[in-house]
Structure 1
């Protein structure tokens, strides 16, 4: 497996975790205020979209 594709998958998974944690903070289920939950949500979105674009841009080699 290509290292770029593996790193993209890792970034995508970390992004999903950050989005979930930030969303839980927004609805009050995590131990965060509404303002402080914007940080993990924003970082999660950046990681998610960076990972998705890295996976899509990396071509498969047979």
Structure 2
């Protein structure tokens, strides 16, 4: 297995975890300023990790 694909897989998993955590925060939020900041931070970081991980796995070619 290629090292870039492995790193892409790890980034994808971290992105999924970040997006799930943002969804959990969203479901239990009261609307305060700290809740909204946490939602934005975890949501944006999760989306960045997820998109970059998928792109890295997709664009890395297998070498035999």
| Larger RCO (alpha carbons 8 Å, 6+ apart) | 2
- Which TM-score applies when normalising by structure 1? 0.87
Q: Which one has a bigger Cα radius of gyration?
A: 2
> In proportion to residue count, which structure has more helix?
2
Question: What's the RMSD between the two structures over aligned residues?
Answer: 1.5
Cα distance in structure 2, aligned partners of 1:14 and 1:56: 17
Match of 1:49 in 2: 51
> Structure 2: which 5+ residue stretches go unaligned?
none
How many residues are aligned here? 60
> Structure 1: which 5+ residue stretches go unaligned?
none
Q: How does 1:8-23 map to 2 (within 5 A)?
A: 8-23=8-23
